[in-house]
Amino acid sequence: MTKSNIPKKSFGSYIRALRLNLNIGQRELAEKIGIAPSYLNDIEKEKRSSPKQIIINKLAIQLKTNINDLNDLAGISKKNLAPDIVDYIEKNPGMKILIRTIRDNNIGNKQIEKIEKSINKNSTKALIVAAGLGSRLKTHTKNLPKCMLDFGGKTLLERQLDAYKKCNINNISLIRGYKKEKINYKGINYYDNKDYKNNNILNSIFYAEKNINGNLIISYSDILFDPSVVQRLIESNHDISVVVDIDWRGYYVGRKDHPISEAENVIFNSDNKVEKIGKINTGNEEVHGEFIGMIKLSNRGTEIFKEHFHRLKKIYWNKPFQRAKIFQKAYLTDFIQELVDIGIKVHCVIIESGWKEIDTVEDYQKALLGFNKKFTKS
């Protein structure tokens, strides 16, 4: 039975059906979410009311389901509103005024959907990972992080900030490391990775963990991208979305310092869901595109990220992980592949050009030559 065919009759029966569909034992699930098996059994048999919000959050992650569905069923079981809504209204009394205003002005579902889309668009945050050494850029990064390289009077970082702000993303955070004192723009939240020499992108991201929540776009700091790419990501309503360029091969023609074998490639299925991601290109034509270094997480997506990062960190610290020699040196793509391997869906936002990677001296010089043109891969 597919998840979409599982009837949502009640909270307990839905939890049980999801668990059985994933072939997870009752004791196993109880251990994963930190409750007694007898308590979970009572929930499934409707002998107890739905659990606290933190347990519902964990159930949604382990059962790979939409947390809003669980909250709505939990509210029905208590003959009340969904518990996450009740909690929010209690903490924010002004919501009562807003709800009554909506009621008194007869605002219908279509208008509410428009408001929801507008809020989601304007509430998206960005996190830029800029801790690395940029050693392939040689003398250009001797005294500067590579995000501070000049492009037509503006730094690479400034051009990223411009692209985000054109899409109404103004809540921006940045992870610094190498030459951190060189990055000091106003209006940015900074997190410092003091151990940047000994870790890689994945672990660097989690130096900003307290900001990993809500709708969040994470991007590498060594890419130029058009605002249209950001807009495509904002519009994705999936929990985890990665940007994949399917017009990528031409970019590697004549590119000597960064061979095609080092591309972070993606193979996806007919539903645009990732099957493989990372340095997987061996000349095989089944590779569909290149991951450009941008990912968007929904509120649930950020919870999935945090939950599994800490789980995997406990298991693999100082040990090999996916293609990394040790977990500390893992790339973001290693983590994404692990999520895919355990059945978490990662959606591909497909583009054709609209970005450039600045990884080597050759990339920098080529980008400068054509900088006044639109970012096309030529």
Task: Tell me the pLDDT band of 2, cut-offs 50, 70 and 90.
Answer: low
Residue 262's CB is within 10 A of a number of other CB atoms, namely 13
- DSSP, res 189: E
Distances (CA, A) of 227 to 167, 265, 372: 7, 22, 16
Task: Tell me the pLDDT band of 378, cut-offs 50, 70 and 90.
Answer: very low
Angle between helices 299-316 and 53-62 (to 10 degrees): 70
Of the candidate ranges 23-27, 135-139, 334-338, the one whose mean pLDDT is the lowest:
135-139
Residue 319's CB is within 10 A of a number of other CB atoms, namely 11
Amino acid letter, residue 213: N
Of the candidate ranges 63-67, 190-194, 281-285, the one whose mean pLDDT is the lowest:
281-285
Which segments of the chain belong to CATH 1.10.260.40?
A: 3-91
Angle between helices 67-77 and 11-21 (to 10 degrees): 140
Amino acid letter, residue 23: N
Report how far residue 314's alpha carbon sits from residue 264's, in angstroms, rounded to the nearest whole number: 26
Mean pLDDT of all residues in 74-103: 77
Q: Which range is most confident: 40-54, 71-85, 93-107, 155-169?
A: 155-169
Task: Tell me the pLDDT band of 264, cut-offs 50, 70 and 90.
Answer: very high
The residue written with tokens 């997506």 in the block is 301
Rg of the chain taking only CA atoms, in angstroms:
23
Report how far residue 198's alpha carbon sits from residue 328's, in angstroms, rounded to the nearest whole number: 7
Q: What is the pLDDT of residues 209-224, one digit of tens each?
A: 999 999 999 999 999 9
Q: What is the pLDDT of residues 91-119, one digit of tens each?
A: 787 888 888 888 888 888 888 877 776 66
Mean pLDDT of all residues in 154-163: 93
Longest alpha-carbon distance in the chain: 70
CB 71 within 8 A of CB 84: yes
Q: Is 80 exceeded by the pLDDT of residue 288?
A: yes
84 half-sphere exposure, CB direction, 13 A CA radius:
12
294 or 285: whose pLDDT is higher?
294
Q: What is the secondary structure of 50-71 as a DSSP string?
A: ---HHHHHHHHHHTT--HHHHH
373 or 214: whose pLDDT is higher?
214
**Domain 3-91 is in which class?**
mainly alpha
- The alpha carbon dihedral of 191, 197, 200, 202 has a sign of negative
Report how far residue 110's alpha carbon sits from residue 123's, in angstroms, rounded to the nearest whole number: 20
CA 310 to chain centre: 16
Segments in the chain forming alpha helices (H): 11-21, 26-33, 37-44, 53-62, 67-77, 83-91, 94-104, 109-123, 156-166, 201-205, 227-235, 299-316, 332-341, 361-369
The token pair at 203 is 């672990």
CATH code of the domain occupying 123-369: 3.90.550.10
Report how far residue 267's alpha carbon sits from residue 97's, in angstroms, rounded to the nearest whole number: 49
Q: Is 70 exceeded by the pLDDT of residue 375?
A: no
Mean pLDDT of all residues in 262-283: 88
The pLDDT of residue 78 = 65
Which segments of the chain belong to CATH 3.90.550.10?
A: 123-369
Report how far residue 132's alpha carbon sits from residue 180's, in angstroms, rounded to the nearest whole number: 10
Distances (CA, A) of 267 to 235, 237, 278: 22, 21, 9
Mean pLDDT rounded to a whole number for the chain: 87
3 or 180: whose pLDDT is higher?
180
User: End-to-end CA distance of the chain, in Å?
Assistant: 47
284 or 138: whose pLDDT is higher?
138
Strand pairing category for 125-130 and 172-176: parallel
